[in-house]
Structure 1
């Protein structure tokens, strides 16, 4: 018989714990998207899961912590994808086009648009909501992209500049078209051609601004 303190038993407990947390995050994700932050309660999530509220609180002691875990779960998966695309051995324009296509596809997905709308509509009442989203999603993604751009600057592929500012500029360009239109309700339907155009537009302007022989704009 396996002893409760054996490595095998501990591994099984950890596996069950991770599976339980994953199930909680899946259910909470749908609640936050469908009901908003204010409309989501720990009691409703616990009821959907079929367990006690105490069990839920043992895994996630507050709604803030649960929301952060939901955002971090999605953000981590995307950052892993982004890291795969940031190939320092490949042509930089091709890499940036792939990255921007991936980014535009991500931020225009229904779930991400829904999360952005939740943060915008409820961030005033729940400042912690906006902070959590900013730190776990765009800020961390920007840091991953900035590390790649900084190395490209050191290799002479881009002009020297603040890599975080450069990453912010590229991400902002990516989100200025279809993403902005969806977020504001100005457009409903779009296709891959729209995503490709947004990505190409962003990369073209970015490379014009950060080409090795370009000069930063000066204030008048």
Structure 2
């Protein structure tokens, strides 16, 4: 192989590690359902342990607090989302094409029933539990805006976009994506977002953005 040594692969999980990981996933499944149905205040570690059929002590071996559990629930919920958006932001495509793909996928995920439910959960609990808002902001909006900011910075370096603060630009584009239908869905004015309307929202957001930065 031309004298090259293949990089070592990650060792497979032991049976014990695999069981522990399966248990953690089960905890996150139950916790996600509880947070969405009962809110942050209405979810208790005791209730989650009971739903899992184990002891509270066992649950605490995985998560020392409800705050840490909520953080992991959000991390799991947003990890795949960020990965999908990263693929959409392909630097080898024309900037307009990549940004349109980003806007479409961003809106699609935000307006899923679970996305709307999560947003309502956070907005309803943040006054009593400020940590809920902080965790949500760091895991969801901030993570996405940082990802988008890196892409915009590179596009500005290439001269594809006007040079400006890329993080500000990322905040503006994500806000434009949410400006029309997302607010109505949060308020219950419209129950679902039709594909044609989602496409119209994505194109409108990108058009306004490019007027400022192209």
TM-score using structure 1 length: 0.90
| Count of residues in correspondence between the two structures | 204
Which sections of structure 2, spanning at least 5 residues, go unmatched? 1-10
How far residue 92 of structure 1 moved from its aligned partner, in angstroms, is: 1.1
How far residue 190 of structure 1 moved from its aligned partner, in angstroms, is: 2.6
User: What residue is the counterpart of 1:214 in the other structure?
Assistant: none
CA offset digits 1:126-171 (Å, max 9, x no partner): 0011001001111011101100000000000000011110000000
Of the structure 1 ranges 61-70 and 182-191, higher mean CA displacement relative to structure 2 is found in 182-191
Which sections of structure 1, spanning at least 5 residues, go unmatched? 1-6, 212-220
Query: Are 1:162 and 2:165 counterparts?
Result: yes
Measure, in 2, the Cα distance between the counterparts of 1:199 and 1:145. 15
The 5 Å alignment of 1:104-143 reads 104-143=107-146
User: How large is the RMSD of aligned CA atoms in angstroms?
Assistant: 1.2
The 5 Å alignment of 1:37-56 reads 37-56=40-59
User: What residue is the counterpart of 2:155 in the other structure?
Assistant: 152
User: What residue is the counterpart of 1:12 in the other structure?
Assistant: 15
How far residue 183 of structure 1 moved from its aligned partner, in angstroms, is: 0.7
Measure, in 2, the Cα distance between the counterparts of 1:45 and 1:184. 29
The 5 Å alignment of 1:180-191 reads 180-191=183-194
Q: State the SS of the aligned residue for 1:37.
A: helix
Which of 25, 35, 57 is 2:60 aligned to?
Answer: 57
How far residue 49 of structure 1 moved from its aligned partner, in angstroms, is: 0.8
User: What residue is the counterpart of 1:3 in the other structure?
Assistant: none
Measure, in 2, the Cα distance between the counterparts of 1:205 and 1:45. 45
Measure, in 2, the Cα distance between the counterparts of 1:60 and 1:189. 35
Measure, in 1, the Cα distance between the counterparts of 2:37 and 2:108. 21
Measure, in 2, the Cα distance between the counterparts of 1:201 and 1:110. 23
Which of 7, 29, 42 is 1:26 aligned to?
Answer: 29
